Each structure stands twice: as structure tokens, then as C-alpha cells.
Copies of this chain bind each other. A is one copy, B any other.
């Protein structure tokens, strides 16, 4: 089983403003930049509570046809969600065990804190980062502290007319 991150950020590394708004990411545009190909390879989504609360308010459920697991210790309101959604809590290693045992193969990890936790735990296999050409100065950062340097292997970078730049990295597992 492998964990993947696929995310849009400002050039200064924010995935959202402080209040969660992500207007600066250019809306739907970012989604045409490899998102469909990426999602085609994913069977399970693992999202944090904050991300869940954002997508729960969307007009249409963005994860149609995928298994969705929300990480939260608090109880969540699933009443408005028509799709099947599970809840789990625990540290990344525990979550990984439970997901693997229940058949997950390619897991998309999304949401600031969740991504940071899984990176820190050395569990992320690949990172695909799309940089949107703007500096917003403050907000919710993609990256956080790590216990030691996390070495990456650059796989490929693509640039788009819109000014978006997408870089794909594999996390080099520590020997």
C-alpha cells in the first residue's frame, strides 16, 4: 500500500488562507493539471477533519466512487453526505495498518495537518505539488516540521501556459 500527496500551493507554500479559503489556487483550473490521471490510480482517500468539512459543503461530492476515510478523534456529522464515508483515528502507523488490512492500495492523503503527519511518519511515497504563481504571505502551510531531513527524488516537472508548475517527487526511504 502506498500513500500519495497531490496538492496545489502558492509559490510561498500555502495550501489555503488562514480561514481555509483557497481562491488563490485558481479554482477548477488546477484540477485539469493531471488531477484526473492521478485520481484514476487512487482507490482510497484519507482526509483530515478540516478538509472533510470543506468538501462536505460542496454542491457535489468530489470523491464519487472512492473509499473515503476521515481522520478525526471527534464525532463527525455525516448526515449531509450521500456517499459512504468512514471515520478513523490513531497515529499514522496505526491508520496505515488498518487501511492495508482492509484492502487499500493507493491512498490519496489530503489536508494540511494530515499530510504533515504522514510525511513526518515517513509514510508518504510520492508528492505532486502544483505551484500557483502568487505569494499570499500567510495561511495554512503545506509543510511542517520533520524529525530529520526528508530526501526527495525529483521525477518530473511540467509547466503550463497558465503559469502553473507541477513537480512530482518520490520520498527516498531511509535505509
> A-side interface residues toward B, CB under 8 Å?
11-13, 24, 119, 127, 129, 131, 133-138, 142-147, 149-154, 156-157, 159, 163-165, 167, 169
Distance in angstroms from A166 CB to nearest chain B CB is 10
Instruction: Across the interface, name the chain B residue whose C-beta is closest to A156.
Output: B159
Check A136 against B129 for contact (C-beta < 8 Å): no
- For the complex of A and B, the 5 pairs showing the least CB-CB separation, nearest first, are A137-B146, A154-B163, A12-B143, A133-B152, A135-B150
Which residue of B12, B13, B119, B165 contacts A167 across the interface (Cβ within 8 Å)?
B165
CB-defined contacts of A150 to chain B, threshold 8 Å: 134-135, 137
Measured between alpha carbons, how far is A145 from B136 in the docked complex, in Å? 8
Check A146 against B135 for contact (C-beta < 8 Å): yes
Check B165 against A11 for contact (C-beta < 8 Å): no
Given A137-B149, A154-B159, 7 additional A-B pairs, CB 8 A: A11-B129, A12-B13, A133-B151, A134-B149, A136-B149, A154-B164, A157-B159
Measured between alpha carbons, how far is A165 from B149 in the docked complex, in Å? 18
Distance in angstroms from A44 CB to nearest chain B CB is 24
Measured between alpha carbons, how far is A119 from B134 in the docked complex, in Å? 12
Which residue of B24, B133, B151, B169 contacts A154 across the interface (Cβ within 8 Å)?
B133
Instruction: Across the interface, name the chain B residue whose C-beta is closest to A138.
Output: B145
Which residue of B129, B131, B137, B143 contacts A145 across the interface (Cβ within 8 Å)?
B137
CB-defined contacts of A157 to chain B, threshold 8 Å: 157, 159, 165
